Chain A
């Protein structure tokens, strides 16, 4: 047992010393991820993209007020670039990327409405990115809803104003009806009808009073919506992405370290010495796992500390849950790295596999596209990546304040232990055959 520990310690010491011998590497490993998160935070402001918008209308004066109201309401999402009367000129500016949106207002919109037809606003863009196109479509819908709302509000206000003269007429009618009722002799058969007429007129007057007293905004938008998250914190872009960035970076570091570890030894020829020496594949692998786990835990601690205390990334959960999630993530990532190392023939191949895995993790781990948007069979690929589990665990712990989700933890543990067994068997075949 004592010799077993000594043999394990050989690889622990060797791997750690080999890495610690490279101070620039250590600095890069600690500061690199932090800088990436910092720049990521700087690069993405917490607001939507501003769209430079040019309006096209043959009669600029007629709609100036509406356009101003709209651009003011949606600033800074909409940046008004003025009004053009020449549509082709505006479109050529769009093609030259001098403006982002061209909104063409129809020539005689009110005539179309009076003719029982919708007046169509044409919105032009020059985007190819489906997400940007979706964003513009949303903005266009918001814009047309806003125009409709403005028009409705104007009409309503006009109606309220017009109803003023109607109301005074009603008051006169009520007064006359009251006089008529009083002038009628008692027991007259028409008294009941006059009384009913008076009541109807009074109700109508009250309704008109209510109509006139309601704010036009409430009248055309009787319902409003407010959304509330369970989390008490409003996350910034950096705050939301930080757990995912930490997971991706640590997964990639673990995989790259481990991927290069065994393949280099195979190429150097020392594997032949291991075959003859009394060291086993199990001892070698455990030594390597422990050394890299130790190193990665230190790296993860430093990166987390910088993220939480310097970048103010929220940490709503318990640190022990965070530590548990991190250790299992690193353990499983190392397993992937060692597997790459054992199936690669050269350093280059190992690095390529690691990069492919990083790419796969970016696209399929839910890093920037929600897994719920993914088609069902492809999610199997997503759930084969340690990063997918890592992101879920860290988001739950850091952003929601939950514990590590049991099913997710079980899933990544099964993968991690499975990878350890496969790595062990492969290494044994290479060392002890």
Chain B
């Protein structure tokens, strides 16, 4: 005979058991419970979040992680993020960030302000070997925060098959804006567009600088986004777009310049070193050469991009992470990365090795001399996104260059004010 109370008890117990199972099924943050930053450096599990440019980069980082893991007796899980900023911010906000992650130079200032990074740079034995400009990008408050992992500059990549087929020779390689326009016109035929590059300030800014403009004034205190020089740069881009000799990846059903040139939708593109790796595995049949960006009315200019290996303040494996970074920034490992996906090592001692090993990437190295880094300002992300979204409209005239730079100026000033 069933007793009501017993049945009740059984049901409640079942419910509680279910909840307990659910709770027990949870595992906390991935780092095991070792003491924070303690000396322990083996048997640990580290997590690394990267913003990958493609399979080549992911595989290379995976290989490096495995190599170090075997050497040190740890394991590393590498995760390529769909949107690094988004996922990193969420992980940081949630209180369980990955142990290591890429830190883009433009996001560095914000992360420092939020006290999310460990300033370990001064502890590195090879800290004097890094390029000074890179160290500067990743220093704040007198501390060298994180080791630059590599750097890249923008250059012009040309599909040599299409080049020769259009009857162009080395003499026609553009060295100024007019020549670029002419070459692009000659190469735009069939389903191919002469020039395709991503619709972002991270490309358009190169043209602005070639026209002599810059986003910030010399001491970085004021925005000069709507200067006539910047406008001139943007207007040049608009002209090419309207003529149809310049298109943006979305208009060719591709995701970025490398894919556009790889899929034969573009004859030329403007990308950084990462295109080398990205194209090698996905489009092995592509023949291309890399040349410096043509000079604008006020001279040569290009943009440089760099990331550093950030170690989370909340990481429980800081000692091991620093050891990993030492491994990753060694000359050998950096050359391995360079081989895999084409970025330039951040240590000066590797420069001669790099230029010897990759003579065709000479243009990228040359660019390092006159390149400028991105704008690092908390809150600038939004402003840039707003500007980027209007670039596509230059093709059909629905975006007006003057109002674009004016809006950029206005929004950037607002961001600067609220960040202060």
Q: Do A and B come from one complex?
A: no
Instruction: State the B residues within 8 Å of A (CB).
Output: none
Instruction: State the A residues within 8 Å of B (CB).
Output: none
